[in-house]
Each structure stands twice: as C-alpha cells, then as structure tokens.
Structure 1
Amino acid sequence: MKTPDKHMEEEMTHNEPLLRSEPSTNTFKVSRQAFIDPSILKRERERIFAACWLYLGHDSEIEKPGDFVTRSVGGRSIIFARDREGKARALLNSCPHRGAQVCRERSGNAKSFQCFYHGWVFGVDGQLRNQPGEDGYGKKFKSDSDSNMHQVPRFESYRGFNFICFDPDVVPLVDYLGNAREYLDLICDQSIEGLTVIGGMQEYAINANWKLLVENSIDGYHAMSTHATYLDYLKGTTGGLANMGLVGVGRDLGGGHAVIEYTAPWGRPIAQHIPMWGEDAKRELAVIRQKLEAQYGSERAERIAIKNRNLLIFPNLIVNDIMALTIRTFYPISESRMHVNAWAAGPREESEWARKYRLFNFLEFLGPGGFATPDDVEALEHCQRGYSTANELRWNDISKGMNREIPAMDDEEQMRAFWRHWNSLISADVTQGAAA
C-alpha cells in the first residue's frame, strides 16, 4: 500500500470538519487542527478579528481632553484618545503621508500628534493641522479627507466600554452584545459613580493558541484541580465561606458570548465580607449592600454583591467579576503564541480600604504572579505542546454537561457556545466546515 505524501496528509486533514456535535450521544468534539494550523489563523484574522467588534479601552483611561493611549487591536496600531471637545476617538496610528506611526508614546496628554518622519502635525481629532513645505502642495490638499489621520471604520461604546470594528457594515454594538448586556450591566451597576480602570496595564505572552485562553477563562471545571492550592489557602482566610464551594451555572448567551455565574468562597470588595477583613470592613460592606438594595431591590443587589461572573464577549474580551474585577483581551501572534493585556477595575467611589483589598485580591489570584495565572499559563502551554500529536490524536472533547438541561458552571456549555459561533464563521463555505 502506497504511503500518502505530506501534501496528501495535509489535504486529508483539511477536509475533516473542525467541529463534531452529536446530541444523540451527548458528545462535542473540536479538531486540534484549530490550534495549530496557520491557514485557520489566517481565516480567523479575516473573518473574526477584521469583522467582529473588538474591545479598545475604557472611558476612564482617557478622562481629560487630550488624554490618549496607544495599543494594538486586531493586529492594527490604534490611538484611543479624547479630543479637545471631549469626544472619544479611535484613530489608525499611521500617517497618511508615508505610513509611519504618528504617536510613539504608550499614553499621555497631548494638544496634537506630530509624525517624526516628515513633521506632519495632526490634532487629537486626527485632522491635519500643519506640514513642513506646505507651499509645495495644492491649495485644497489640507481639506482633502485623505490628508487626515483615518478613523477606525466603526467605533461605539457601551457603558464606558469602547469597541472598534474594521468592518463598516457590522451590526451596531448594542445588537452585537445581545444577551451579554445583562451581565455587563450587573458589573457596571456595582458602582453608583461608574467604574474606573485602576493603575496601568499588565502585559505578557503565552506560548499557546489564543482560543485556549478563551476556554480557560470560562472554565469552571479546572478550578478544583489546577487551583487546588488557592482553594486550600482560602480555608484559612475566609472562615465560614470556606465551605461555600463553587456553585452556579454556565450559559450560552448567543453570538459566541457566554458566561459562568456562581457563588465562591472568597471575599468580594463589593459586598461579600470575610473575617480577615475585620469588623470595620464588615460595617462598610453592609452600607454598600444597603445602597445596592435601595437602588436595585434586594434580588438584584444579592446578585450583584454575591454572585461571581466570568463573562466572554466574543471573540476575545473577558470580564472577570470575581474576587476582583479584571478586564482582559488577548490576540494571536502566531498559531501557538498570544499577547495578553489585563486591567484591574473597580468603582470610582470605593474607599481606600476597599481599593486596597480589591488590588490585593487582583494580584493574589489574577495577576501574572498570582495563584491562578501561572498555573493557567502552564496548563495552556502544556496543551499546546500536546498538540504535537494532533495527527494521531485529532480531537478535543468538550462534552461535559450536554446531558443536563441546565448546565452547571463546571460543565462546558459556555465553551461550546464559543466554538459553535467560531465554527460558523471559520468554516462557512469551506469544505472542512461542519455545522454544529
């Protein structure tokens, strides 16, 4: 029997579906090629990162006119700024003259941006103001829209969370968010004065496919094993809460968005006290709880204060409202490496004490050196290494909870929600795509 050559093996692999869902047997499989195939990453960049709404930044990062931050979003260099009239802007950070990045600083406050290459000067709104040798250009050159810095095709905001999209025909953001708005509202409603990003941004890289961090961020199943050290630690710090456990539900919110919502044995600076915080803190949190109840009623206040949420907004925004509040995005550098950005956030009005413990919780568990993140990074990188066997072991199993009417937070329905939508985008009109 003739052995297939390498080209034939690749063609055979590419003709397989990327997703297999069998409700009759309660099984759900994802091809490991999704994590290692460069052609799939190419399609992701075209069909997801160039076509879906992507998180840019929070209002609180650019509070004053002239404030700006620069960051890479969807592989593009972007200036997120507030112009002199107070309007938020999302500018493509590329000079219309010869293409150099106009702003090379990470953040600051500016009256204008000057391209260092040929000295063109642009307002914070992106309008061309001055250029050396102006007499060498036509009279109407400056008024031509092509002479200005270009705005990102679509830029919209929801409750202080700013998003961009490179597809001018994308649906409005409020429609795109859909059922995820319920959970963003719960997160935003914990503050009367509004949320604020605290401090700077944490950045790190993981040698793994970006979709592994999507899964990990909404995966309640791994907590008891991967984070056993942290859960043991909590037994000595949380008193009666130590026996609460992780109990809740996983939900498909439609459009690839998903959430797990649950109770947990840690303190929440919004209104869940633990003994190590002391009696003064207990009284302060009781006042916060009373304000929430007065504003929203007892049922919603209970949900805001006590329930934890790991929220995925497709494709790559995670908002962890757990023992601290974290905003996280991540983008592929290659099929086996990603870049991660993370921000701590909290209510503007919270006390010095609450802010102290919020940041303590953030660094203790969610930060790059905390209990959770190093464990998660190691797990994801070992998964990526394990995919060296993808030609022999072709499928990941994501079936847990398919036999339940209401999936639990440690089931995998929320991950299946991501994969179903991902597959609908990536496999459309491609022979390897099989509908879930």
Structure 2
Amino acid sequence: MVDSEQGWIDRRIFWDPQVYALEMERTFARCWIFVAHDSQIPEVGDFLTTYVGEDAVIVARARDRQVHAFINSCSHRGNRVCFAEAGSARRFTCNFHGWSYALDGSLSGVTAEELYKDNPTFDRSKLGLHKARVESHGGMHFACFDPEAPSLADYLGEFRWYLDVLLDNDEGGIEFVDGNIKSRLKCNWKFPAEDFVGDAYHATWTHSSALQALFGNIPTMKADRSFQVNANGHGWDFGLDFISNAATLCEPEIVEYLRENEVRFAERLGKMRSRMVGSLSSATVFPNLSFLAGHNTFRTWNPKGPAETELHTWVFLNRNAPDSLKEKYRRGVMLTFSPAGIFEMDDGENFEHCTASNAGVVTRRRKLHTGLGLGSEVEHPELKGNVHRNQVNEANHRAFYQRWTDLMTAPNWADVPVR
C-alpha cells in the first residue's frame, strides 16, 4: 500500500478497519509512545491518565521515585481503575469490587481476601495492572508494551540529537505549563502526524490569511537555508532563521528572550542547532508525538477509530526562563495552535476533509502522490540522520510511511530495519 521510493500511498490506509486494527497491534502496541514529562508528575504519588493507542494508561511516580506506566483496567473484571485526568494518590482502587493497586501498578489490596485463601489460581504477583517499559530522554517519558522492542535510545536513534534542540538548550531543561488542551478531530491520526513530520509545503498557502493578518505579508522560506531530516521515521523540517515560529506568537518578550540567549544557545548546542530553537519548523516523533519549535507546544494524536483523533496539547518553556514567559507562551499557543487558534483551525479543516473525501469507494481506487523532493538527499558535515535540502519537501512523509510499512509488515521487532 506504500511505495516510498516513488511516493505513492494507497488511500485505503486511512479508512480500512482491518488496517486500523493492525496499526493498533503492530504500531501503537509495540512502539515507544510519549506519556508524560517529569514536570507533570514531580512528586511521589503524582499521576496522570493518558492513552497508548486505544489502551487507557495510568502514569505515576511511585515510592521509589521511578515513573511507572500501566494499563488502566482492573485485573478482576476489567473496570477502569482511575477516572481522574491527573492528581496525587496513595493508591488506585477499583470502584467495582474494591481491588486496589500501588503506585507501581502492583496489587496491594483485595476486599475479603480470605475468600481466596484456598484458591490455587489467586497469585498477587500475577494480578497487578499490566505494566509497560518506561524509559526517558530529556525528561520526556515514553512507554512501550513490547518486551522485544529496542531501547528508547535506539528507537529514537540520531533523532535524539535534534530533540535536544528543545530539551537541552538550557541547563535546566524544560517544564510543561500546568494543564493541557484536549480536542477531537474527525480525521485519521496519520494526516496530522504526517503534516507535522514535514509539510512546510502547505504553510504559506493554507495559512496565508492568518500570516497576512499577523505580519501584513506572507514570509518567504529560503530553500538554500532549510532542510528536512529524518531517522527511523521521526522527522523535522526546519529553516535556520532562529525566530520565525516564535514571532507568530505575537509576544515581543518571547522574541527578546530568544535574542538575549542566542549566544548561550550556540555555546550549548553549536551554531547550527541553535538556529533551530525558534525557527520556522515542525516535527513528529513516530508515530504520534508532534511539536513546534518556537511555539513551544507538544501534542499527541491519539487514535479513536479510523476517522477520529483525540488531540492532547501542552505548552512548555525552559525551566529557568522568567516566570512572566509562562503566560506569554500559553497565550501565544492559544492564539495559534489551539482549537480556536488561527493556524490550527486551518489545519483541522484540511485533516477532516482529507479523511472524509477518501472514504469513497471510487476515490480510493486512485493512489495519493507524495513525491515532492525525490532525489533531494544530501551529505551534510554537521547534520545527522537522513538529510534533504529544502524544507518544502515530502522526504519526511516518505520516511514516515516507510517506517509505518516496516512495522505493519514485520511480525516482530527483529524484522524492523534501522533507517
């Protein structure tokens, strides 16, 4: 269904229920999925609830101060154990029969446990909540339910070097602003994920009216100073303009902060990566974590069926940045990339219509073309991974769908190539 060498995609991958079911099994159930940042669960007992594919998950900091992730479903009858979005707790107790679980997911209490005293199948050690592997990079915690999956470091590969542009441009790292935005889109999760992995092509056309309203004109992208990079299906398209994304937040104090720290960023990251900190760019960590440098927003595209996606959006900034910037970034993201944001409304409409229009039987007989930038790969003395000239390109789309294909057709991780 995918020809990444020539740039052809079968439209059925956005609608076929069997394809979607296989995605949940071979992509979300065995990839590393972002579930929480350190700043969201800083103390013992802090927790939040989220999703890995369509599996409900609890993420909690246990008494050993380690972060644990486990399925939010009781081992007795399968009832949801925790209904809160976030908070602090000593344990998680099912409201059906009162079975309770510790912060690490282990079974800690059973109502009238004496009734099980002569039952040979009752084993506390086997009745805890189904646990995931949890590993982190730069304070970002990822969960994986496949014991055969590679380490998070190997899964991210050379893309870790790019993630550090945001996660490690300051010695204090980043922190998430309290709260998050949740919204629903009537679209297949892959449309927004592929858009953020590298669709600079749409920016000046789709968002032309918003850009004109903000700046009075449409900024031009310089092909000779922009790139697409990818590794293992993760991708980032970016220019080297330093502040273009940040400028669209319309908060002068944010641009001032970046300018004041430009030299320090370069000392920490090197000149090339420092120019990416607030630049015109977008990125996706395969499969469903996307972010925008400069806008300082992370988001996950959580599948809710072939034609619906739940979007979770967070705002972040450097932990050592002035407190006054927290509100500036929050307001800036609300202006641009929130359900009522001037850019997100444009994108959401496109994602939904791409999904709806591809539902037709006849429509699905003709493949989609993602061949822009074929042959654009270059060797670069400073950049890592697979590098392509010009961020107006579809190289990262092809890499994204090749990774998708690798996983969908591989019976186990040993058969998934490193790309």
Common fold: TM-score over 0.5: yes
8 Å CA contact 1:289–1:305 kept in 2: the answer is no
* 2:370 paired with 1:398: yes
1:180-195 correspondence to structure 2 within 5 Å: 180-195=159-174
8 Å CA contact 1:141–1:147 kept in 2: the answer is no
Residues 141 and 287 (structure 1), Cα distance of their counterparts in 2 relative to 1, 3 Å cut: farther
Q: What TM-score do the two structures reach when normalised by structure 2?
A: 0.86
* 2:265 paired with 1:292: yes
Residues 257 and 83 (structure 1), Cα distance of their counterparts in 2 relative to 1, 3 Å cut: same
For 2:202, give the aligned amino acid: H
8 Å CA contact 2:194–2:284 kept in 1: the answer is no
* 2:184 paired with 1:205: yes
Match of 1:418 in 2: 400
Any runs of at least 4 consecutive aligned residues in structure 1 with deviations exceeding 4 A, and if so which? 139-143, 263-269, 272-276, 281-286
**Could you tell me the percent identity over the aligned residues?**
29
Match of 1:10 in 2: none
Stretch moving more, 122-131 or 30-39 = 122-131
Match of 1:255 in 2: 232
Deviation at 1:301, TM superposition (A): 6.5
Residue number among 42, 52, 60 corresponding to 2:21 in the alignment: 42
**3-state secondary structure, aligned to 1:358:** helix
Match of 1:4 in 2: none
Match of 1:106 in 2: 85
Match of 2:214 in 1: 234
Deviation at 1:389, TM superposition (A): 3.9
User: 1:82-134 CA distances to partner (integer Å, 9 max, x unpaired)?
Assistant: 11231111122122222222222111111122221122232212233332213
For 2:84, give the aligned amino acid: E
Deviation at 1:377, TM superposition (A): 0.8
RMSD: 2.9
Residue number among 94, 115, 123 corresponding to 2:102 in the alignment: 123
User: 1:243-273 CA distances to partner (integer Å, 9 max, x unpaired)?
Assistant: 564655443523211110114695666xx79
Q: What TM-score do the two structures reach when normalised by structure 1?
A: 0.83
For 2:312, give the aligned amino acid: N
Residue number among 34, 46, 53 corresponding to 1:55 in the alignment: 34
Give the total of aligned pairs.
399
Residue number among 10, 20, 23 corresponding to 1:31 in the alignment: 10
Residues 39 and 233 (structure 1), Cα distance of their counterparts in 2 relative to 1, 3 Å cut: same
Deviation at 1:328, TM superposition (A): 1.1
1:286-365 correspondence to structure 2 within 5 Å: 286-297=259-270, 299-300=271-272, 302-322=274-294, 324-365=295-336
Residues 132 and 305 (structure 1), Cα distance of their counterparts in 2 relative to 1, 3 Å cut: closer
Residues 227 and 100 (structure 1), Cα distance of their counterparts in 2 relative to 1, 3 Å cut: same
User: 1:285-318 CA distances to partner (integer Å, 9 max, x unpaired)?
Assistant: 4442343344445x15732545344221111111
**3-state secondary structure, aligned to 2:275:** helix
Residues 295 and 52 (structure 1), Cα distance of their counterparts in 2 relative to 1, 3 Å cut: closer
Stretch moving more, 351-360 or 339-348 = 351-360
Listed as ranges, the gaps of 5+ residues in structure 1 are 1-17, 430-434
For 2:287, give the aligned amino acid: P
Listed as ranges, the gaps of 5+ residues in structure 2 are 378-387, 412-416
**3-state secondary structure, aligned to 1:334:** coil
For 1:138, give the aligned amino acid: K
Deviation at 1:404, TM superposition (A): 3.1
